[in-house]
Amino acid sequence: MNAVAAAENELRIRALGKRYASTQAAGGELQVLDNIDLHVPAGRFVSIVGASGCGKSTLLRLVLGLEDQYEGRITLGGQPIAGTGPERGIVFQDHRLFPWLNVEQNIAVGLRNAPLTPAEKRERVAEHVALVGLQGFEQSFPHQISGGMAQRVAIARGLVNRPRVLLLDEPFGALDALTRARLQNELQRIWQAERITMLLVTHDVEEAVFLANQVVVMQPHPGRIRRIVDVDLPHPRHRSDPRFIALRDDVLADFLEPGVLGAEQPPAPDPSSWRLAW
């Protein structure tokens, strides 16, 4: 990546705050995010972990441009983000595919406003079908493919416009453990191939550490950054690597401390478990 592309693709979040009107909160407002500072250099993979309700999805919604009422600044390549745009793609936990469109038509939805000829669009869709390993399933409809395959379609749709940033909100949260591990490997491969800046929200600490250059640990009430952990391990990564295990356990230890899980803290988790769901 050249220096210009690097500067164009860096995401900066400065002193970000977000409040929602709430009849339950003191003062009629709920402070969801407070003073979030985050710098994601171009081509980096950043994971965000934190308790339910600490504002992770809200943060992604703001970066996506779904809301414009907030404090602070969000810039991409130095330009404040304004509304949604093709340079920011998103993948949600539920794939949100259109049931009446087949796999390639669902991916092509990501290109509906792209300034490309129909032939160029077909080519771009075919490239992304291959990128996520779905050759042979182009004509299948969502009900004819598995949950993991549907998430691959959603990832292809998020990438097909060649966004500068891909936002992922628990993209594998609804999948079984084996499919999830397979798709984590897939996402690692795709990120290595495409080098798009990625921001992943997950409840799965192992997933966060496995994929990211940096893990942002958030804490709730209001949502703040507790700490940022660098993951300086080469790719491709291996789950049995002792350095990986040590980093994963370091991040997990944060969640065993009082207060990090918020008021609705479940019974103390088993420290030997490698994954927390809350």
Distance CA 35, CA 55 (A): 12
Q: Is residue 88 involved in binding ligand ATP (CB under 6 A)? A: no
Q: Is residue 277 involved in binding ligand ATP (CB under 6 A)? A: no
CB 252 within 8 A of CB 276: yes
Q: Is residue 58 involved in binding Mg ion (CB under 5 A)? A: no
Which residues in the 126-145 window bind ligand ATP by CB under 6 A? none
Q: Is residue 52 involved in binding ligand ATP (CB under 6 A)? A: yes
Residue 256, helix vs strand vs coil: coil
Choosing from 47, 57, 151, 213, the residue that interacts with Mg ion (CB under 5 A) is 57
Burial (Cβ within 10 Å: 0-12, 13-18, ≥19) of residue 1: exposed
Q: Please give the C-alpha separations between residue 18 and each of 35, 55, 94, 227, in angstroms, as whole numbers.
A: 9, 9, 25, 19
Q: Is residue 55 involved in binding ligand ATP (CB under 6 A)? A: yes
Largest Cα–Cα separation, the chain = 57
Which residues in the 58-87 window bind ligand ATP by CB under 6 A? 58
252 binds, among ligand ATP, Mg ion, none (CB under 5 to 8 A by kind): none
Choosing from 9, 57, 197, 202, the residue that interacts with ligand ATP (CB under 6 A) is 57
User: Could you please report the per-residue DSSP string of 81-92?
Assistant: P-S--TTEEEE-
Those residues with Cβ within 8 angstroms of residue 27's Cβ, 6 or more apart along the chain or in another chain? none
Stretch that binds ligand ATP, among 3-11, 48-56, 74-82, 125-133 (CB under 6 A): 48-56
First vs last Cα of the chain: how many Å apart?
38
Stretch that binds ligand ATP, among 46-54, 107-115, 182-190, 262-270 (CB under 6 A): 46-54
H/E stretch holding 254 reads helix 242-254
Size of the site for ligand ATP (CB under 6 A): 11
CB 218 within 8 A of CB 56: yes
CB of 218 to ligand ATP, least distance (A): 7
Q: Is residue 171 involved in binding ligand ATP (CB under 6 A)? A: no
Choosing from 16, 46, 54, 166, the residue that interacts with ligand ATP (CB under 6 A) is 54
Which residues in the 223-252 window bind Mg ion by CB under 5 A? none
20 binds, among ligand ATP, Mg ion, none (CB under 5 to 8 A by kind): ligand ATP
Size of the site for Mg ion (CB under 5 A): 1
Q: Which is nearer to Mg ion, 129 or 276 (CB)?
A: 276
52 binds, among ligand ATP, Mg ion, none (CB under 5 to 8 A by kind): ligand ATP
The distance of Cα 78 from the centroid of its chain, to the nearest Å, equals 21
Cis peptide before 115 (omega within 30 of 0): no
Q: Is residue 56 involved in binding ligand ATP (CB under 6 A)? A: yes
Choosing from 7, 20, 66, 230, the residue that interacts with ligand ATP (CB under 6 A) is 20
Extract the runs of DSSP E, i.e. beta strands, from 115-250: 165-169, 197-201, 214-219, 224-230
User: Which residues contribute to the site for ligand ATP (CB under 6 A)?
Assistant: 20, 30, 32, 50, 52-58
User: Which residues contribute to the site for Mg ion (CB under 5 A)?
Assistant: 57
